[in-house]
Amino acid sequence: MKFAVLGTGSVGCGIADKLIQLGHTVMMGSRTADNAKALAWANAAGSNASVGTFATAAAFGEIIFNCTKGLVSLEALRLAGAENMKGKTILDTTNALDFSTGTAVIGVSNADSLGEQIQREFPEVKVVKTLNTVNGKVMVNPNLIAGGDHNIFVSGNHADAKEQAKQLLTSFGWMSDMIIDLGDITTARGAEQYVSLWIRLAGTLGTSLIQMKVIK
C-alpha cells in the first residue's frame, strides 16, 4: 500500500521505517522536497522510500500519517492540501505540546482537541487519532513494554478509517484486544489530555518506556 508520512522527526522516521519493513511504499513529506532529514531517511530505507513536499506526499499516499509537530500540524496539513487528502484516512499521532514555558503544556484542551481541529478544518478527510499516547519507539514496537500488555486508543468519526487504523496497529505489533476504540473524534480530547499525565509519569519514573493499561 502507498503511504504518506508527514514529518521528518523521530516519530515520522520510526513509522516510515516500520511501514517499509512491512512491505509498503512510503513518501515522506516535509516543507521542501529536499529536506535533509527526509533524504537521509529515504537513502537508508531503500527503493520503496521516497521524499516530497507535504502536498506531493499527501497526493501519493492512500493513507496519510500525520507525524508533524502538534503546534504546526494544521499549517502543515494546509500545505498538504485538502484536495490531496480528500476521502483519505489520516492517522493523527500528534500532540499539541507547548514547551515555551519550559514545562510541557497541552496547547489545545478543555472542550477541544487537535484531532477535532483537523477534522473540522478538513471535513472530507477521515481523521483517526491514535498512537499519540506512547513514545515513538513504542508506537511501532509495543513489545518494548511488558510484551505489549498495555493499551492503545483510536478515536474518530469514520468506522472504516478506524478499522484501517486497527489493522495497521495490529501489523505494528499491537494485540487486537489491547486496542480500545474510544468513540468519535471528540474522544481525542481524552487521549490528548492524558499526555499531560504521561509526561509527568515519564519524568517521575525516569523512562519514556511507559504506558497505561486499563484495569477493570
Which residues of this chain interact with a copy of itself, rule CB under 8 A?
A: 101, 103, 105-107, 109-111, 145-146, 149-150, 153, 180-183, 186-187, 189-191, 193-194, 196-201, 203-205, 207, 209-216
Closest contact distance (angstroms) between CB of 139 and a copy of itself is: 15
Q: What is the CA radius of gyration of the chain?
A: 16
Give 82 or 212: the residue with its C-beta nearer to a copy of itself. 212
CB 7 within 8 A of CB 38: no
Closest contact distance (angstroms) between CB of 197 and a copy of itself is: 3
Give 77 or 116: the residue with its C-beta nearer to a copy of itself. 116
Which residues neighbour 203 within 8 Å (Cβ) at sequence distance 6 or greater? Answer: none
Helical segments of 126-158, H only: 136-139
Closest contact distance (angstroms) between CB of 136 and a copy of itself is: 17
Give 51 or 138: the residue with its C-beta nearer to a copy of itself. 138
Angle at 213 between CA 210 and CA 216, to 5 degrees: 160
Give 43 or 207: the residue with its C-beta nearer to a copy of itself. 207
Measure the CA–CA gap between 119 and 200, rounded to whole angstroms.
Answer: 28
Instruction: Name the β-bridge partners of 91.
Output: 65, 128
